[in-house]
Amino acid sequence: VSFEPRPPDSRSAAIALDAADPLAFARERFDLPPGLIYLDGNSLGAKTSSVSLDDAVNRQWGRDLITSWNANAWWTLPRRIGDRIGALVGAASGQVMCGDSTTVQLFQALTAAARLRPERRVLITDGANFPTDQYVADSVGRLLGLDVQRTSPIDPLPEDVGVVAFSTVDYRTGERWNDEAITDAAHEAGAVIVWDVSHAVGALPVELDRIGADLAVGCSYKYLNGGPGAPAWIYVAARHQPWVDLPLTGWHGHVDPFGLTSTYTPAAGIERARIGTPPVLSMLALEGALEIWRDVSLADVRAKSLALTDLAIARADAAGLETVTPRGHDRRGSQVALRLSRAYEVCQALIRRGIIGDFRAPDLLRLGFAPLYLRHTDVWDAMDELVHLVETESLAAAPRPEGVVT
């Protein structure tokens, strides 16, 4: 990979890196508004030009109607997309099923994981995990009578641990955990592990099969660019599939969905991870978005992600800003979080200048670097604006909206 080890120290050096970027072609595959610098692809990815719902709405739904389940292969969509996502997370075919939200898939995975260790009483989550991961862990704990404990992924595991559930990359700080070592530790303790790879899939190579993950979940609307509310996915390692007891026993996961029997018998293999009727239009959008990965090397994606985040950190350092994201390459995802005294106001001021990042309470400005559509010059220019803002503007406290905080 042709990236230099040191970040560029001038805009012209950034231009030179863009000219040599082996992923430069990928940006053409996105419909980004001109002039906008989008640093929030870790929250909602950009729209790819390969997504169009015209055919789905007007021909498949409009004309072919219900025959589309077979005629337009709607029935096999969840599995088809699952395999394509599987290829991006190091999962051999037949272990990933697409559908529903990350939250729903977390409930599926945590409950199924606990049922794989019925004699164990402790479920571990990270107190810094994304809220939905913690809330679902608590609920599964209440349902199954488990003791839910919060530890950091590097803390020793307690006795009686049955399930360990962590995220590959911390959503707030961008810290990346050593998923291989942590999976080994969970197995040595006799537990099964559930990884949430929402902040890693599409941003860095994930190797679920190789590290021996038991179950995993992830979303599709961040670095996979599947669109708002894009269906999530679940990974169930092949070795668990004959026994895994998933709690949401919807009719699509039945061995004979159209037999319409009154009791549930799960389908063989990953088909049992289907739930009910999938959101077909969202899945077709996601399938379109996944087209762009056909000739993209995840090693190139990772190298560029590190180069972009290195550049942002170097510019933040030079301006005396506090970076909370780890500096070691092996400990970093694809985002940089800066601690600022007026992080919310800075974020809003940047948005007014056409640079979209996001704010995470109480004091973090979170900048996501999606390597497929960001250039080194975008990072250079965004950091110029940010430094200028912090150094020259006295930003008055701004009222925060209720509801969605971007």
> Catalytic site residues?
130, 196, 221-222, 366
Using the 8-state DSSP alphabet, how is residue 7 labeled? P
> Does the protein bind ligand PLP through residue 177 (CB under 6 A)?
no
Stretch that binds ligand PLP, among 33-41, 95-103, 260-268, 366-374 (CB under 6 A): 95-103
> Does the protein bind ligand PLP through residue 132 (CB under 6 A)?
yes
**Of the candidate residues 22, 47, 94, 103, the single one contacting ligand PLP (CB under 6 A):** 103
Using the 8-state DSSP alphabet, how is residue 83 labeled? H
Q: Residue 199 or residue 254: which is nearer to ligand PLP going by CB? A: 199
Asked whether the beta carbons of 218 and 82 are under 8 A apart, the reply is no
Least Cα distance to 343 among 317, 325, 367 occurs for: 367
Q: Residue 60 or residue 183: which is nearer to ligand PLP going by CB? A: 183
Question: In what side-by-side order are the strands of the sheet with 358-360?
Answer: 322-323, 335-339, 364-368, 358-360
> Does the protein bind ligand PLP through residue 233 (CB under 6 A)?
no
Per-residue b or e along 277-302, where b marks 16 or more CB atoms closer than 10 Å to that residue's CB: ebbbebbbbbbbbbebbeebebebbb
> Does the protein bind ligand PLP through residue 101 (CB under 6 A)?
yes
> Does the protein bind ligand PLP through residue 167 (CB under 6 A)?
yes
Taking the complex as a whole, the smallest distance from the CB of residue 393 to ligand PLP amounts, in Å, to 29
> What phi and psi values does residue 50 have, to the nearest 5 degrees?
-80, -5
CA angle 344/350/353 to nearest 5° reads: 150
Asked whether the beta carbons of 162 and 196 are under 8 A apart, the reply is no
Where residue 14 falls (left for φ over 0; alpha for ψ -120 to 50; beta otherwise) is: alpha
**Of the candidate residues 68, 102, 173, 183, the single one contacting ligand PLP (CB under 6 A):** 102
> Does the protein bind ligand PLP through residue 171 (CB under 6 A)?
yes
Q: Residue 7 or residue 231: which is nearer to ligand PLP going by CB? A: 231
> Does the protein bind ligand PLP through residue 126 (CB under 6 A)?
no
Site string for ligand PLP, 258-297 (x = CB under 6 A): ----------------------------------------
Q: Residue 173 or residue 241: which is nearer to ligand PLP going by CB? A: 173
Q: Residue 234 or residue 321: which is nearer to ligand PLP going by CB? A: 234
Taking the complex as a whole, the smallest distance from the CB of residue 200 to ligand PLP amounts, in Å, to 9
Q: Residue 196 or residue 271: which is nearer to ligand PLP going by CB? A: 196
**Of the candidate residues 21, 126, 179, 196, the single one contacting ligand PLP (CB under 6 A):** 196
> Does the protein bind ligand PLP through residue 232 (CB under 6 A)?
yes
Taking the complex as a whole, the smallest distance from the CB of residue 170 to ligand PLP amounts, in Å, to 9
Least Cα distance to 97 among 274, 228, 254 occurs for: 274
> Does the protein bind ligand PLP through residue 219 (CB under 6 A)?
yes
Site for ligand PLP in 331-370 (CB under 6 A): none
Asked whether the beta carbons of 184 and 109 are under 8 A apart, the reply is no
> Does the protein bind ligand PLP through residue 130 (CB under 6 A)?
yes
> What phi and psi values does residue 288 have, to the nearest 5 degrees?
-65, -40
Q: Where are the beta strands (DSSP E) in 293-363?
A: 322-323, 335-339, 355-356, 358-360
Q: At what angle do helices 376-392 and 298-318 cross, to 10 degrees?
A: 20
**Of the candidate residues 21, 126, 133, 271, the single one contacting ligand PLP (CB under 6 A):** 133
Asked whether the beta carbons of 287 and 76 are under 8 A apart, the reply is no
Burial class (CB in 10 A: 0-12, 13-18, 19+), 260: exposed
Stretch that binds ligand PLP, among 32-40, 196-204, 338-346, 383-391 (CB under 6 A): 196-204
Largest CA distance in the chain: 69
Q: Number of residues interacting with ligand PLP: please give it, by CB under 6 A.
A: 13
Which residues are at the interface with ligand PLP (CB under 6 A)? Answer: 101-103, 130, 132-133, 167, 171, 196, 198-199, 219, 232
